[in-house]
Structure formats: structure tokens, C-alpha cells
Amino acid sequence: MTSKRNSFLIVFMVAFGLTAAVSCDFQAADDAFNDFDIILGLDPINTVVSGVIVDSGSGDLIDARLTFSGPGASVLIDAYSDPLSSLHAESGTLTFGIRNSSIPTEGSPVEVVVTATAQNYYTTSREITISEVGEGFFELEMTRNDVHVPTAGTSGLSDSRVSTNGAGAIQQALSIQTQALASGLQAQLFVNVAQSSRPVTGSGAALVGGLSTDIRVFDSADGLGALPAAAKKSASGTSLALVGASFFRMSDSAGRVAVNFLTGSGKGGAACAANATSIVLTSSRADVISAIQAAGGSAAVDVYAYTPADGHNALGGTINASIENGLARLELCFGAAGAFNTALIGDASAGIIFTFALSGSSVSVQTLGNTVSVNNPGSAAINAVFRLVGPGINFSQDKTVPAGSSTYSLGTLVGQAGAVSLVQNGTYALSATLESGAPASVPVSGPASGSTSITLPASLGLVQFDFTVTMACPAGQKFEVQVSESSLDALQITYKAQVADAKWKALPSGAAANPVVTSGSVVLGGTLMMRPNTTYQVIGTLGDKSGSVTQTSPGAAGAWKINLPPKDIGLSCK
Amino acid sequence: MKRFSCIFVVVFLVLAAWPANNISSAQDIGLGLRAGTTGIGGELGFSITPRLIIRGHFTAISQTVKEEEVGDDPKMLGSGKAKTGAIMGFLDFHPFGNSFRLTVGAGKNQFDVSASVVPAENVCFGDKNQQGVCDGKEMTPERLGTLSANVTYPSSIHPYAGIGFGNLAYGRSTVTFLFDAGVTYAGSPEITLTNDGLFSPTTTTENVQTLNDGIESFKWYPVVSLGLGFRF
């Protein structure tokens, strides 16, 4: 009996123990630990700004190095939430964020100055004003420092006819002039080289022998966009009302660069003395002419000398702008007692850009405080370029406008929050341009105060696409570093139609959905008004990394799916 | 290791079923010293009848692992601390009047398993170039933070069943050998992760569920214990 009971107990205990052992599923545990993902989670970024750096002539993207300054620079962060002070936008696109603790509003915008440097381009800056939480977008145009490169609103040339004798005196008088006034070019430059005048460097050394001269004119329409930003501001940071500008570089074979011409007597009456070398700029801009007329036919103009080599912008003197043959005319005379103090000019080795800014009692420094009501008659948010033009100013910014009516300050709308030189009773106009179709334009009676209303134009030729961009690993692979959705807040999509005059756009914040992230794919998209049957370049950018694809849009409204390689934005697969 | 533990349980359960000498003594209280899979400790037993003993039991043990390299992408340094122990009440039944007994009980297992890992090197967010230099953004270990893990069990009261040898509170000799083998039902363990840096999404319930699903079957904790009892 005892033996039977013991046998029963042995069986019972063995079964009991085996149950416990078998119930431990070691394979499942092993698989679970192998499948477990370590996921990186960067902080969410509530406000992301994307930008493109483009050639002002061709519209091509530029490999540029950017630095950030201004009052809002301290709150900038990169795509990974680290403080940001500089960035190399190798492919010409970039994104960055604003620290979440800083909440930009209309009343308290984040103002940043982006300065871009690129080989063969003028160093260029622009102010960016972010006035709301979400996404912002800017385009920074850079102008080639080669005067021959076609750029809207400018005209340039090289001349090698001027020469001096052994004593440095110019042997023969001649006039070097840029292209005649035309519809797309509203300024012309004449450099009148006087015989016997002596071109000298800043230290007084004479230029000897055959001289090379590069000149270029910038009108006060598109030409202002091609000017380096620092050339458009006074020492106090006020945006100047520039009638126009001229680039000038004269050098000899030894590399000496002229900053002055001696043996002239400067301005003598209405014109420069006969033996004075001069720069004459004429402008056909109606608002400029009207401003001069309003000042009694002769308006005071401050002359600045911006030297691209060192970024110095010197206020060297004041001249008068007059009306001649229906054109605004500005004449800058060189000479020992010239109207411009050339001693103030900085490093002229890369040439000098003389700018002409309306000044005097008819010009006041104010902010663009006019309240603008923007009416978007569509049913969805849409991107529009807002532009304010007036005597000597041309400010523009791309902004997403939600459906219905929205109110902005004029400065916020056109990306110019700082002080601006405004001409009393000047003619100012605000325009809004969509991706296609004619712009809508309204006069602005007082840019500094009052109110203005503008209705966006109909989105002609655009259809609505459910636009998605997918960045996915090949089948069976997943991202090497797993990330959370918030880690990709700074991932932005920009696009541009491959048609004339098209501009870069960003997915409007109101239309774009948050990225959907899995272990092997990121999908970003939104509802967009775009051109059908049109080739677009689409770029996904995360910080300073970007991937690009060119694809033709569908012929009708509906879904449009685009694929981009994730590796290009820094998400490698394994 | 866990597989070994489970097999160990089975072997000892078999051994425990062999018959032992009959019990014949008059003591009714005993103190024991214990060492086993729930740690080192002691117990106090009272005999209700010669065949029915009630025991109170306490054990504890902890093990610390200091900074060992774990994982390779990224390389991490892991350290951990595992503490186990039990405060239990047992009822021993000696069905044959000898030292062999069946034991049931309940109590609280003092399971406390925690571990933490920190990256041993910078993690590259993005591609590496041909020289192996990060072409994206490098995250330092300090920024990535520490990933901490903790294992808990759903119920704080855990039932126990097992067999054993030795009667702590009743027998002729003053000293007796004690042996127990059994299992505690602890329920499915649950891993929780926390992070003070960028590994936060790793710690979400959704992500950790993968691990918890994998260890769901580990509901039983094997108990093997040896001891020496002193009867009074």
C-alpha cells in the first residue's frame, strides 16, 4: 500500500514539476527580446521653419552656409532640438525649429536674420518673421557676384577700354553704360570716365595701364531682391528706401581696385564737373519719380557704399535726385572734393555697391503697422506670396492663409517686422500671388498705420491633390535608428513646378498632416492645390539633409503619391 | 538559466517522493535556517499534530551586476540588481508519518528585479560615411539618457505548493535536515521601462508589450530550499 502511494506521489510530482518547466516558454521570450525595438524620441517641435536658398537669376537651389542672428536667434533649434547658430544647406533647402518655450504670436513674433554665404554669390541676408505656431517658410535669393549672370531687375557688363598712363591719368574719356531701360529693367547705369581723372585705391595708389571695369545696375523693383540684405539697411538696421543701386569695380592688372577718381572737382551745379568721373543712375519707376516730384522735383538721397568683401555699408554723403526727361536721375561725382567721402569705404577688393536711399524730411522711419485683412475665398488653406512695393521698397514673403478671413500686420505679412524708411504720401501697393494666375493687388494708403483689405485671387488652373510623400525602406528592412513621430517634426516637404516664374512652396501647415512613422517608413502629406499635368520637383528636408524627386502631377484631382529615398534625409535602413 | 531552474525543480520533486524514516518524537516547536532559490533566511514551526506543522518563513537574497556590455547597435552598458525573497506561511502535512511532507502555503514574494542600460558610445542619427564617421547627428550618451527596467508581478500574495523532507517542529532529534521543492505562482511578470532622455518612446506601454508578451508564460517561480532545523 505504501509502495503504491509512493509511486502515485512520484508520478504526481513529476507531472507537477514538468508542468511548471514546460510552461516557461523560453523561445517566446528570446523572440520577444530580439524583436524589441529601441526607439529614439526627440522632443516635439511645435514651430518649424523651412527654407530654400535660390539663385536670384535661375531659381536654382544653392549650396549655402547659413548663420542665424537677430533677436530671435537664441530660440532657434535644429531638427534634433539642439541650439542652432549655423547650418550648411548643401542642397539648398533646410528646416529648423523654434524652442517650444517661445511661442510666436502676431504681437510677439520671433525675428531672425538669416545670412547666407555661397561661393560666387554675394553674401545675402534676410529677415524672417515668425508670428504663429506651426510651420513657416522662407525663400532667400542670392545673386551671383559675376556681373554677367542674368538676374531679374539687374543689368551688368565688363569693359576693358579704359586705360591710364604711367602717371595713372585716364587717357580717354568714355561712358560705360548698362542695358537700356525696358519693361523688366527699370534702372540704367552710366559710368562716365573723365579724361585725365586718376583712379586711386583707398590708400591713394594709382591704377596703371589697362583697366578692367565691371558694372551692374539694380533697379528698385526686382533688383532690390538681388541686393545683399546688408546693402539695404542703415547702420541702425532700418530698411532703406532705395531708388536703385550700382555695382562698380575697376582694377588694374596689379590687382589695385579704384575707390575714387582724383583730378575732378566733384559736383559743380546741376552736373558733375567736366573733368570728374561720375556714376549716373536713371530710374523709370513711377513710385520713385512720384516721390521726387512730391519733394518739389529734387529729393535728398543718401549714398551708401556697401563692400561685399567685408560687409561694410558706409553712408558717405548725400546727393539730390532730380527728374530729367521723365526719369529719376541720380549723379554721384568722384573727385578730391566729391560729394561722397570715399575714405569711409571698406574693403573694395570685391568691388563697391553704391546704393541710393531716399532721405530728407519727406522720409520717415516707421514700422509697417497697417492692419491687413486677408480674405481667402477657398475652402482650404493656401500659400500666397505677399509683396509690398513702393518708393524704394520691395518686400515679399510666402505665407499660408487659412480659409476665410485672417488679420495680420503688414510687416508680418511681407516679412518686414523692423523699421522701414517710408516716403510721405508715397504710393504703396500690396499684392498677393498664388501658384498660378494673376496677382491680386490693392493700394496701401499708409503702410505704417490704418487698415487694408485684400482678397486672394481665384486659384485658376489649380486642382486639389491628396498629396503624400513616402520615405520607406525596401521590403524586409527597417530604419537603423527607430524614431518616434515627434522626432520627425522638422521633416518638411517643399515643391516647385517646373514652369517659368514658379516659386518654391512648402506644404501649408493647415493642409499638411503630421508624419506617420513606422519602423520602416515615414509618410507625410496633405491636401494641396497644385497644377495638373505639370512636372514638379519635390524635396523632403530634415535639418540640412534632403532628398529630391522630379515627377509629373496627375491630370485630375485626387491622390498623388510620391516616393523619396529615406537615406537622403538621414534615415538609413538595415 | 531559467530553463535550468525549471528542470531542477522537476528533479527535486522526484527525489522528494522517496520514502523516509518514521517520525517519533515529542517536540512541538522548531527554528530553521534556510538557503534556496528564494534566498537565505529562517523559519519558525509549530506542530499542530505530529503530522500537521505550521511554519512561518522568511528569506531574502540580492544579486548585483555592474556595467557589462550589452547589445551592439548601439553598444550599451548594462547594470542590474535582482532581489528575491519570501515572507510565507506554510502548512506541512506528513501523510506517512515520516519526514516526507506535502506543503501548501501563501505569502509575499519579495521579487525586485531592476536593470539599467546607458549607451556606451554616441549614436549616429543618419548615415555614416565610408570612414565610419557620422554624417548625420550624433547623440551623446548623456543626451540619450538611461534606460531603466523594472519587473513586477500582478499579485502581491503568491500561493505555494510543494513537497519536502524534514519535520521542523516534531521529531526525536534536536537537529533535523530540511528540504523543500515546489513552485510559487506569481502570475505573469510585467516589465516596465523608464527613461530620462531620448529613449522615451522605447518605454511606451505599446512598445514594451512585445517584451511582456514574450515572458507571459513565466508565471511559476521554482522554489528549492535546503535547511537545518532545531527542535525545542
How would you write the pLDDT of chain A (574 residues) with one tens digit per residue? 445 445 445 545 554 554 555 467 888 888 887 777 778 788 888 899 999 999 987 889 999 999 999 899 999 999 888 999 999 999 999 999 999 999 998 888 899 989 999 999 988 888 888 888 888 889 998 888 889 988 889 999 999 999 999 989 999 999 999 999 988 899 999 999 999 899 999 999 999 999 999 999 999 998 988 888 889 999 998 999 999 999 999 999 999 999 999 865 545 445 677 778 999 999 999 999 999 998 888 999 999 999 988 889 999 999 999 999 999 999 998 876 667 888 999 999 999 999 999 998 889 999 999 999 999 998 777 888 899 999 999 998 888 888 899 999 999 899 888 899 999 888 999 999 988 778 999 999 999 999 999 999 987 788 888 889 999 999 988 887 777 887 888 888 899 999 877 888 887 655 556 678 888 899 988 888 889 999 999 999 999 989 999 999 999 999 999 999 888 888 888 8
Q: Does B7 touch chain A (CB under 8 A)?
A: yes
Angle (CA) B53 B55 B58, round 5°: 165
Question: Do A505 and A494 form a contact (C-beta atoms < 8 A)?
Answer: yes
Domain boundaries, chain B: 27-231
Predicted pLDDT at A85: 95
Of the candidates A6, A25, A32, which has its C-beta nearest B211's C-beta?
A: A32
Of the candidates B10, B14, B198, which has its C-beta nearest A40's C-beta?
A: B198
Q: With an 8 Å Cβ cutoff, are B6 and A481 in contact? A: no
Of the candidates B17, B136, B200, which has its C-beta nearest A10's C-beta?
A: B17
φ, ψ of residue B82 in degrees (nearest 5): -120, 125
How buried is residue B70: exposed, middle or buried, by Cβ count under 10 Å (0-12/13-18/19+)?
Answer: middle
- Sign, Cα dihedral of B38, B44, B47, B48: negative
Contacts of A378 (CB under 8 A, 6+ apart): A403, A456, A459, A529
Q: Tell me how far apart the 2 most distant CA atoms of chain A are, in Å.
A: 140
Place of cell 501697393: A429
- Give Cα separations from B214 to A20, A26, A30, A186, A530 (angstroms): 17, 8, 7, 75, 49
Predicted pLDDT at A23: 63
How buried is residue B206: exposed, middle or buried, by Cβ count under 10 Å (0-12/13-18/19+)?
Answer: exposed
Average pLDDT, chain B: 82
Predicted pLDDT at A129: 86
Q: Does B96 touch chain A (CB under 8 A)?
A: yes
Q: How far is CA A354 from the centre of its chain?
A: 22
Residue A109, min C-alpha distance to chain B (Å): 29
Q: Radius of gyration (Cα) for chain A, nearest Å?
A: 31
pLDDT single digits (tens) B13-55: 444 433 444 444 455 899 999 999 889 999 999 999 989 999 9
Predicted pLDDT at A11: 46
CATH topology for B27-231? Porin (2.40.160)
- The arithmetic mean of pLDDT across residues B161-179, rounded, is 91
Residue B9, min C-alpha distance to chain A (Å): 6
Predicted pLDDT at A188: 97
Predicted pLDDT at B24: 43
pLDDT single digits (tens) B95-143: 988 889 999 999 987 778 888 888 888 888 777 777 878 877 888 888 8
How buried is residue A172: exposed, middle or buried, by Cβ count under 10 Å (0-12/13-18/19+)?
Answer: exposed
* CB neighbour burial string for B153-175, b if at least 16 within 10 angstroms, e if fewer: beeeebebbbbbbbbbbbbeeee
Report residue A334 as a C-alpha cell: 568722384
Does the predicted interface ipTM exceed a cut of 0.85? no
Q: Does A5 touch chain B (CB under 8 A)?
A: yes
CA distance B43 to B202: 43
Q: With an 8 Å Cβ cutoff, are B214 and A28 in contact? A: yes
Predicted pLDDT at A432: 95
Count other Cβ atoms within 10 Å, centred on residue B75: 13
Predicted pLDDT at A16: 53
Chain B CB contacts of A567 under 8 Å are: 127
Which residue in chain B has the smallest CA separation from A34?
Answer: B211
Predicted pLDDT at A447: 96
Predicted pLDDT at A490: 86
Min mean pLDDT across A282-291, B77-86, B162-171 is at: B77-86
Predicted model pTM = 0.73
- The arithmetic mean of pLDDT across residues B209-226, rounded, is 88
Which residue in chain B has the smallest CA separation from A38?
Answer: B202
* CB neighbour burial string for A484-501, b if at least 16 within 10 angstroms, e if fewer: bbbbbbbbbbbbbbeeee
Predicted pLDDT at B18: 39
Chain B CB contacts of A484 under 8 Å are: 200-201
Angle between helices B205-214 and A26-35 (to 10 degrees): 150
Q: Does B77 touch chain A (CB under 8 A)?
A: no
